[in-house]
Amino acid sequence: MIEKNIENSSPVLTFEGKKYNVNDLSNDTKEIIKGLQIAETQLKIHEDTLKLLSIGRKSLANQLREKLKNYE
């Protein structure tokens, strides 16, 4: 989303195919960008958590399957 422009080292926002110099944007707009970055980070954290829970659930199901073999 935001990258550094190497030529003048100012941050550039790429949004919907357009590029914007972040330093030229209003403070309100910069706050919205920060909010989006935080939301993106939180989504990634929760996606990773869901992956771990899914792996754990599969592992528990496998353990249960093995234990129940004794009762067949």
Domain extent listing, the chain: 2-71
Do 1 and 36 touch, CB atoms closer than 8 A?
yes
Percent of the chain with pLDDT over 90: 82
Residue range 20-43, pLDDT digits in tens: 999 999 999 999 999 999 999 999
13 bridge partner residues: 2, 20
Residue 3 backbone phi and psi in degrees, to 5: -135, 160
Angstrom distance (rounded) from CA 66 to CA 19? 56
- Listed residue (3, 5, 9, 66) closest to 37, CA to CA: 3
- pTM metric for this prediction: 0.71
- Which range, of 6-10, 27-31, 52-56, averages the lowest pLDDT? 6-10
